[in-house]
């Protein structure tokens, strides 16, 4: 069965959002007809939003079907033991024309109990940011739940939040329980656990075209916020050319940064895991013994676990390399 597998490309799943813009089309060349598309789900196994293969012999198959057919050959034996027929990661590109809501995600325990879901640990890699664009990550002072609720009720939440100005290449690790928001003018790649559980705590009092405010989840959020969290959210990482430079390593995923420059990089998969490549700049070709696939900026490729060696070539490109 494993000899049927090759580097897999999927159809992006596009999501219109109240805060979405047009950079996914204008900068990442996504094929988009509608306005305000805020998210492109690149690889997804969320219920109702399973990614579909668009290249090679398995074209038309869903990620869910591939998992059932190929099991450990697709995601690695150790991963299959843990996740069975659920793919563990969700990969997205996000374009925020307007500020996203201030939100947080529950941990595995709360998410399982309340939503029959994984928690949502995630990371961000900023691909483009307008002048003065910002992210909200964490608090700017020590707080407890009582003080937090006072600010929430008084609509002074922004006074206690940490705002960071960002530029291309800035990377953030968003642990469960950390209050956060993507600010207007930021386009980024997001790597996260497979989960769509978000607790929205403030949405800037905005309304949709029907005059309705979006639902808030403050009753659920108060138990899920981690008030003891340290300010270790901005990630420093090396940028050694033609090397895998570690950015984030946590129980849910490892992400490396690879600047590729006019060289062929031979890769060995020793992780007992799939590997995902997200092209965040340039164009890259990945060659296996029997198959070759090219990805451009804003495209994503899944290398099944059964493929143990392959080659990456590019004149000049930047990749994120992700595995579990």
Distance CA 63, CA 51 (A): 6
Percentage of the chain lying above the pLDDT 90 cut: 92
Q: Stretch 257-282: mean pLDDT, rounded?
A: 96
Q: Stretch 15-25: mean pLDDT, rounded?
A: 96
Q: Look at residues 177, 10, 29, 172 and name the one whose alpha carbon lies nearest to residue 91.
A: 10
Q: Look at residues 272, 278, 275 and name the one whose alpha carbon lies nearest to residue 260.
A: 278
- Is the pLDDT at 149 greater than 80? The verdict is yes
Domain residues of the chain, as ranges? 2-224, 245-323
Helix (H), strand (E) at residue 115: helix 108-115
pLDDT score of 262: 81
Note whether 2-224 and 245-323 share their fold. yes
Distance CA 303, CA 288 (A): 10
Kindly report the pTM of this predicted structure: 0.96
pLDDT score of 1: 61
Is residue 299 within 8 A of residue 320, CB to CB? The reply is no
131 burial via Cβ count (<10 Å: 0-12, 13-18, 19+): exposed
Q: Nearest-5° angle of CA 54, CA 60, CA 64?
A: 105
- Does domain 245-323 sit in CATH 2.60.120.10? yes
Q: Look at residues 99, 94, 98 and name the one whose alpha carbon lies nearest to residue 157.
A: 99
Distance CA 256, CA 245 (A): 5
46 burial via Cβ count (<10 Å: 0-12, 13-18, 19+): middle
**262 in the Ramachandran plot: left (φ > 0), alpha (ψ -120 to 50) or beta?**
left
According to CATH, what is the number of the domain 2-224?
A: 2.60.120.10
* β-bridge mates for residue 246, sequence order: 256
Per-residue tokens: 156: 């002074």
Predicted confidence band at 92 (pLDDT cuts at 50, 70, 90)? very high
Task: Give the chain's largest Cα–Cα span.
Answer: 62
Predicted confidence band at 228 (pLDDT cuts at 50, 70, 90)? confident
């Amino acid at each position: 069965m494993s000899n049927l597998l090759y580097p897999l490309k999927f159809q992006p799943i596009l999501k219109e959002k109240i805060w979405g813009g047009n950079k996914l089309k204008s900068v990442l060349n996504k094929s988009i007809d509608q306005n305000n598309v805020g998210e492109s789900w690149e690889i997804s196994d969320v219920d109702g939003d399973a990614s579909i293969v668009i290249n090679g012999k398995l074209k038309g198959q869903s990620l869910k079907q591939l998992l059932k057919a190929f099991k450990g050959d697709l995601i690695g034996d150790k991963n299959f033991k843990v996740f069975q027929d659920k793919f563990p990661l969700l990969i997205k590109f996000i374009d925020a024309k307007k500020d996203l809501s201030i939100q947080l995600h529950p941990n595995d325990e709360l998410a399982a109990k309340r939503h029959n879901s994984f928690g949502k640990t995630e990371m961000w890699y900023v691909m483009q940011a307008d002048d003065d664009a910002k992210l909200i990550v964490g608090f700017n002072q020590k707080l407890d739940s009582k003080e937090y609720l006072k600010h929430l009720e008084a609509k002074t939440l922004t006074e206690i939040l940490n705002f960071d100005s960002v530029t291309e290449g800035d990377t953030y690790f968003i642990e469960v329980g950390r209050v956060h928001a993507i600010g207007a003018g930021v386009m980024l790649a997001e790597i996260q656990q497979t989960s769509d559980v978000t607790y929205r705590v403030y949405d800037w009092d905005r309304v949709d075209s029907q005059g309705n405010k979006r639902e808030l989840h403050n009753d659920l959020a108060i138990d899920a916020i981690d008030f003891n969290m340290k300010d270790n959210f901005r990630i420093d990482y090396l940028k050694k050319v033609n090397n895998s430079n570690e950015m984030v390593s946590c129980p849910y995923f490892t992400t490396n940064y690879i600047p590729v420059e006019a060289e062929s990089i031979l890769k060995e998969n020793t992780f007992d895991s799939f590997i995902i490549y997200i092209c965040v700049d340039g164009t890259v070709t990945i060659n296996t013994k029997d198959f070759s696939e090219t990805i451009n900026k804003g495209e994503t490729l899944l290398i099944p676990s059964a493929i143990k060696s392959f080659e990456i070539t590019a004149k000049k490109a930047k990749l994120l390399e992700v595995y579990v």
